[in-house]
Amino acid sequence: MTSKELLYVEDALGHEQYFRTQCRELASRVQDGDLKSFAQDMEQRHKQIFQNIYGLL
């Protein structure tokens, strides 16, 4: 893997961490049960995507 490709992977991992954090914060703030559930599901999806990308390394 080239250094440029590694930078792309690091970028993708950083984005997934950011999205996960945003979903977690949203879930903790909203009152609507459906929206809270959706945000929690999205957090888990971003966690899985992060793990999948990291697993490729």
Query: In this structure, is the dihedral angle defined by the CA atoms of residues 36, 43, 24 and 26, taken in order, positive or negative?
Result: negative
Q: What pLDDT, on a 0 to 100 scale, did the predictor assign at position 56?
A: 86
CA distances from 53 to 3, 12, 28, 48 (A): 16, 8, 26, 9
**Residue with structure tokens 């970028």?**
11
Task: Determine the Cα–Cα distance for residues 5 and 30; give it in Å rounded to an integer.
Answer: 38
Which helix (H) or strand (E) is 4 found in, with range? helix 3-29
- Residue 57's pLDDT is what? 83
* 10-residue stretch averages of pLDDT, the chain, 57 residues long: 93 98 97 97 98 92
pLDDT at 1: 85
